[in-house]
Structures are given as C-alpha cells and as structure tokens.
Amino acid sequence: MKIIDLSKPIQYNESDPWFMKVKIKHKPHQKAKWLLRMLGLPLRLFPKGFIGWADDTIQKMGVHSTTHIDAPWHYSPTVKGEKAKTIDEIPLEWCYGDGLVIDMKHKADFDPITVEDIQAFLETNDLQLKAGMIVLIKTGRDKLNGTKDFHKTGTGMSAQATEWLIDQGIKVMGIDAWGWDLPLPYMIQKAKETNDPNFFWEAHLVGANKEYCHMEQLVNLDQLPYQGFKLAVFPLKIVGASAAPARVVAMIE
C-alpha cells in the first residue's frame, strides 16, 4: 500500500498572515531534569544515561490555521433549523471512504468553479460520483501555501457547485486552496463593488441549509490518481469547535 500525506506541516511560518500563524515552543530534553528534581527524584536515582524527555507546547494555533476540516457549526449555528454539528459531533463514518479528485487547475484566479465545470470533468474522464465518497478539488494553489499571497489568490467553489455535490450524497469535500470559496479579500472587495449581500461566503453558507463538511489547505493532490484510493480525514476531537486540524492521508493499494 502506498500512503500519501495530504496535510501541510504544522510549524511557524513568518509569511503567514496574523490570523493563521502557528507558534510552537519546543522544550529540550534537559528541562525534564529540573522538573523531576522539583517532584522529588534525586539526581543519584536518575536512570543511567538519562538526559530527560523532550516536550512541546502549542502556544498559538487556530483550528483553521493549517490543513483542517470545517464542521457544519462553522457555517451557521443551525442547519434547516436544527443545531449544527460541532467537530466532535461529526460521524467518523463520514471521514473515511473512497476518494475522488476533480481537477480544476485550469481555472483562473477569481473564476469560481461551477456545476458545469465539475460535470464536464467527470464526463470527460468517465468518472462517477457515489454517495459517501470524499471529493477533493485540485486547483494547484497549494504551491502558494506558506507564502504571503496564499489567501489572496486562487479559484474557489460556487454555491451552486457545492450544493450539487451535496445533492449527489457527498458529505465531505476538500480543496488545496486557502479556502473553499473564492479568496477572502476578493469576496469582500466584490461584495462592496456590487452592493450584493449574497456574494460574500456563498459556498460556505450552503451549509446553513444542507449539512456537509469541507477541508481546506490540502497539499499534494498532484500525487493522486483521479480515483482508486481510500481517504482518511480524522479531525482532532475538540469539543464544541467549529473545525479541527486533520492528518489527511490517501491510501492506494
């Protein structure tokens, strides 16, 4: 079996915008000696050759800062009038299944991915969606991951395309861009230019009426075939959270 990691490394990156910076403090092995002394273990009773244990503290990391999966709670407090699921409430059955890649690398920056785009790709490549699949949208924008322009450029999903995937029985989907919609600064700019309150965050807000989850900031989708692999997308079990980092991996027999 070949296993392909689709998750970005979790580490400090100077080029990340302030709202997605990660800070981790790495504690050296020698620090543990002083802790043990404080707890009452004399130096003479330290195991021979014992240096101490390494430890690390995540000092800052938003749940949307790295490769992650959004819960329905992120989009809206309710779905069809019922309380939306937080990340710890998502059924694990949603998070494992057959994967399928939809290649949208040809889409220009700020040009939304449409239902027609997806249907044309599936027909051209003789691919079929099945309920329970996990669908990955490949835009190629992961090459910008870690740069200051990552969240400012790229394509994204339209509301109609998102809703269409849900209607095919897809509960979990993901993208290798910074976000699921078009880039955030672009959406803000266009919403003001058009004076259209329905423009901003349109794909995310599908989740207020139809329950689904999506992943953002995937990497390495170029290493996958379009189909013929399993996908595991298990999030950290953070109670009450709107999202959680996930180690997303593809498995090819």
Element (H, E) at 216: strand 213-216
The pLDDT value recorded for residue 244 is 98
Confidence check: pLDDT of 74 > 90: yes
Q: What percent of the chain has pLDDT above 90?
A: 87
Residues 6+ apart with CB under 8 A from 212: 72, 162, 165, 166, 170, 171, 172, 173, 206
Q: How far is CA 127 from CA 106, 232, 246, in A?
A: 18, 21, 27
Say what the pLDDT of residue 199 is.
Answer: 87
What is the structure's pLDDT at 207?
A: 97
Q: Name the β-bridge partners of 215.
A: 69, 174
pLDDT digits (tens, 9 = 90+) for 160-205: 999 999 999 999 999 999 999 999 999 999 999 999 988 899 999 9
Q: Where are the domains of the chain?
A: 23-60, 68-252
What is the average pLDDT score of the chain?
A: 95
pLDDT band at 46 (very low <50, low <70, confident <90, very high): confident
The Cα 109–Cα 129 span in angstroms is 26
85-97: pLDDT as tens digits: 999 999 999 999 9
Instruction: State the pLDDT at residue 178.
Output: 97
Q: What digits encode the pLDDT tens for the residues 130-156?
A: 999 999 999 999 999 999 999 999 999
Q: What is the CATH number of domain 68-252?
A: 3.50.30.50
Task: Give me the pLDDT at residue 45, please.
Answer: 83
**Looking at residue 120, what is its pLDDT?**
98
Q: Which amino acid is present at 38?
A: M
> What is the rounded CA–CA span in Å between residue 153 and residue 146?
13
Least confident window among 7-16, 44-53, 187-196, 234-243: 44-53
Q: Is the pLDDT of residue 26 over 90?
A: yes
End-to-end CA distance of the chain: 5
Q: pLDDT at residue 57 above 90?
A: yes
Confidence class for position 32, pLDDT limits 50, 70, 90: confident
Residues 238/246, Cβ–Cβ less than 8 Å: no
What pLDDT sits at residue 122? 98
pLDDT of residue 209 exceeding 90: yes
Please write the tens of the pLDDT for every residue from 121-131.
999 999 999 99
Asked if residues 147 and 15 have their Cβ atoms less than 8 Å apart, the reply is: yes
Model pTM score: 0.94
Cα–Cα distance, 72 to 82 (Å, whole number): 11
CA 68-69-75 angle, to 5 degrees, is 120
For residue 47, the model assigns a pLDDT of 87
